[in-house]
Structure formats: structure tokens, C-alpha cells
């Protein structure tokens, strides 16, 4: 099933998306976030969807404003594509190759769950940045609480999948990562999710013998294709990522786990690293980015001017007095 969150006639609803785009509102559900939190796993969500299909239909998807499928409890963004690591590392850090430590575990960072945009929303330029980039990813959504899961157990905790655009201010990212702590304002302004949450069972036909989902990924800027890859080029499965995320802690319903950016043009910075120059150029207001994932759907967002950066003073060089 495909679930959509949307606004129609000034009311927010959640619905199952029919084959022809007709929306079937889920009875008694105001948001997919609440529904996921209360459904207690994939089977319960499918039951709620089945009840929606037995109820009267609502509007067509073309008549509504689509929202992000849900408001995440948290967002862990992994980095699971070797090709992306190799290209972006050269572009951002000036280093070559893939660090050997990268292969030891599926590394991730936490990004901002309060800056999530819908599949057709305008995206503001991050304050203080002049080098904006898209990042084509797929995200999985956790549907059941768990701790210290094995990959086999984690499969029962995965609710579904959505398209994920990890917008990145490369100039801010490059500067702040010299501190050695990871990205902060370089990744803080916007993340796009959508257009739907596609339940895990619907994508099972795409699973290859090694457990990866073989989905075609395409990135376009202003109608020109700049990237193509397969999701099955990940080095870890989503089940393995979920198991690692749960190590020593909890994953809870509504947690989002991003695959990390795909290779072969999954972002501009990868291409810059490979080519040694910023071609295609970084995104600017007026540019439209379209990301498509086979079996899930398409995000189309246009970049618009953002607010001016609020000045913050440089850190004081202290005398280090002691009490």
C-alpha cells in the first residue's frame, strides 16, 4: 500500500493512494505520524489501510497539497554507497579513496527532524550558503519499537520506504567539518520526504538474492538528467542499518533511516570531486530538482531565496583562568 499525508479544504488527512491516484482517507486518522505510532507494526498499518479502502473515496491526489508522509521521531542519515563517499570526500575534504574504517560499520549522523519539507514544497537557500546541493536517497521508516535487534529481527520492524532528499550546503559543510564533529548547519535547513510511504511488502518483488532492493534511482536538475544509480549498490541492507541503529538503544515508530546518497551523480559534490570542477554548478534560486525512485515515486522541489544569516560573533580566545 501507499500512504499519503495531505491538506484538502484546509484539513490535514492521511489516506491510502489508489492505483489511479484516488485518495481513500483512513477513518479516524488525522496524520500518518499518529497512525504509525499507534499501529504497532506493519500488519496493523495494513489493516488500517484495508479499512480505508472499504470507506468512501476522497479527492484525487492532483487536487491536494501533499505533505511529508510523516513527521519523523528522529532522522538517522547513513552513508552506504562507496561511490558517493569516494567522490564527495575528494570534493569536500580534498582526500582520495574510501577510508578503511568506513567498511567496519554503517556510519550515520542525526539530522534535523524539524526541517522536513513535502514532495513539492519550495526549498529555501540555507542562510549564509552559496553552494547548495541535492542528495538522492531512499529512507526506511521504523514501525515498531526495538532494541539490540539482529538484521533478521529488524525486518519485522521496518514499516516502509519513502524518497529522501538530504539538501546540503557544501560551503558550510566543508568549513564546519574541519572541527571534526560532523555536519551541522550544512545539513540543517531542509530535508524532503515523500511523495508517499510505500509499505515494505509492496517492494518485496524488487529484492535481489543478497537482500537488497534493486530500485532505479534518477536525479534531474531543471529537466536534465545528472544522475542514475541502483539502490542495490548499497553496501548494507536496510535491515542491517536498522540493527546497527538499535545497538545499545531504542528505535521507535516514526524513526527514519536514510540510505545515504547514491553514486553516479546522486549529488553534485560527487561529480565535482570526480571532475575537479563545479560542473554542473551548485543550485541557486529558481533551480528545480526532481528525484525519482522506482516503485516509490518522485520529489520535485524548487529552490527559492532564504533568509539572511543572523550574525554570531567568533569564539573568544580565552586566557583559561582557573578557580
Is residue 177 in some structural domain? yes
CA distance 72 to 241: 17
- Supply the pLDDT for residue 74: 98
Q: Give Cα separations from 259 to 84, 109, 164, 244 (angstroms).
A: 11, 11, 9, 13
Same domain, 39 and 92: no
Tell me the three cell numbers of residue 127: 542562510
Which stretch of 33-47, 150-164, 165-179, 185-199 has the lowest confidence by average pLDDT? 33-47
- Supply the pLDDT for residue 41: 81
Once rounded to an integer, what is the mean pLDDT over residues 35-49?
A: 88
- Supply the pLDDT for residue 94: 73
Mean pLDDT of the chain: 95
pTM reported for the whole predicted model:
0.96
92 pLDDT more than 80: no
Question: Cβ distance 126 to 306 under 8 Å?
Answer: yes
- Supply the pLDDT for residue 178: 86
Is residue 92 in some structural domain? yes
- Supply the pLDDT for residue 182: 81
Same domain, 61 and 92: no
Counting the structural domains of the chain, the total is 2
Same domain, 215 and 120: yes
- Supply the pLDDT for residue 177: 86
Backbone angles phi, psi at 3, to 5 degrees: -110, 135
State which residues form the domain around 81. Answer: 74-304
Once rounded to an integer, what is the mean pLDDT over residues 220-235?
A: 98
Same domain, 6 and 119: no
Same domain, 173 and 107: yes
Same domain, 57 and 114: no
Once rounded to an integer, what is the mean pLDDT over residues 154-177?
A: 95
Same domain, 112 and 222: yes
Looking only at the bridges linking them, the beta strands covering 2-8 and 136-142 are unpaired
Which tens digits make up the pLDDT trace of 12-23?
999 999 999 999
> In a 3-state reduction of DSSP, which class is residue 270?
helix
> In a 3-state reduction of DSSP, which class is residue 123?
strand
Same domain, 30 and 156: no
Same domain, 146 and 238: yes
CA distance 104 to 81: 14
Amino acid at each position: 500500500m501507499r500512504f499519503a499525508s495531505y491538506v484538502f479544504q484546509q484539513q490535514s488527512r492521511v489516506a491510502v493512494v489508489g492505483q489511479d491516484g484516488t485518495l481513500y482517507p483512513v477513518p479516524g486518522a488525522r496524520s500518518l505520524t499518529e497512525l504509525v505510532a499507534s499501529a504497532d507494526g506493519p500488519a496493523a498499518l495494513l489493516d488500517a489501510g484495508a479499512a480505508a479502502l472499504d470507506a468512501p473515496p476522497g479527492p484525487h491526489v492532483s487536487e491536494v497539497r501533499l505533505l511529508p508522509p510523516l513527521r519523523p521521531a528522529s532522522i538517522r542519515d547513513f552513508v552506504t554507497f562507496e561511490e558517493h563517499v569516494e567522490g564527495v570526500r575528494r570534493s569536500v575534504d580534498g582526500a582520495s579513496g574510501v577510508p578503511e574504517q568506513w567498511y567496519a560499520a554503517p556510519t550515520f549522523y542525526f539530522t534535523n527532524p524539524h526541517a522536513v519539507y513535502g514532495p513539492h514544497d519550495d526549498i529555501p537557500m540555507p542562510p549564509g550558503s552559496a553552494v547548495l546541493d541535492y542528495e538522492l536517497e531512499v529512507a526506511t521508516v521504523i514501525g515498531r519499537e526495538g532494541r539490540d535487534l539482529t538484521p533478521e529481527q529488524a525486518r519485522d520492524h521496518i514499516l516502509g520506504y519513502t524518497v529522501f532528499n538530504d539538501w546540503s550546503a557544501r560551503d558550510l559543510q566543508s568549513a564546519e567539518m574541519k572541527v571534526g564533529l560532523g555536519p551541522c548547519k550544512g545539513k540543517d535547513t531542509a530535508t524532503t520526504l515523500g511523495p508517499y510511504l510505500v509499505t515494505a511488502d509492496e517492494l518485496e518483488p524488487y529484492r535481489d538474492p543478497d537482500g537488497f532492493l534493486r530500485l532505479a534511482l534518477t536525479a534531474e536538475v531543471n529537466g536534465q538528467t545528472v544522475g542514475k544509480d541502483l539502490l542495490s549498490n548499497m553496501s548494507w541492507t536496510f535491515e542491517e542499518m536498522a540493527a546497527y541503529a538499535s545497538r545499545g538503544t531504542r528505535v521507535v515508530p516514526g524513526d527514519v533511516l536514510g540510505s545515504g546518497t547514491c553514486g553516479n551523480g546522486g549529488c553534485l559534490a560527487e561529480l565535482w570531486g570526480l571532475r575537479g570542477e563545479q560542473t554542473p554548478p551548485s543550485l541557486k534560486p529558481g533551480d528545480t530538482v526532481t528525484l525519482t525512485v522506482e516503485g516509490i515515486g518522485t520529489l520535485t522541489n524548487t529552490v527559492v531565496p532564504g533568509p539572511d544569516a543572523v550574525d554570531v560573533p567568533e569564539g573568544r580566545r580565552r586566557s583559561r583562568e582557573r578557580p
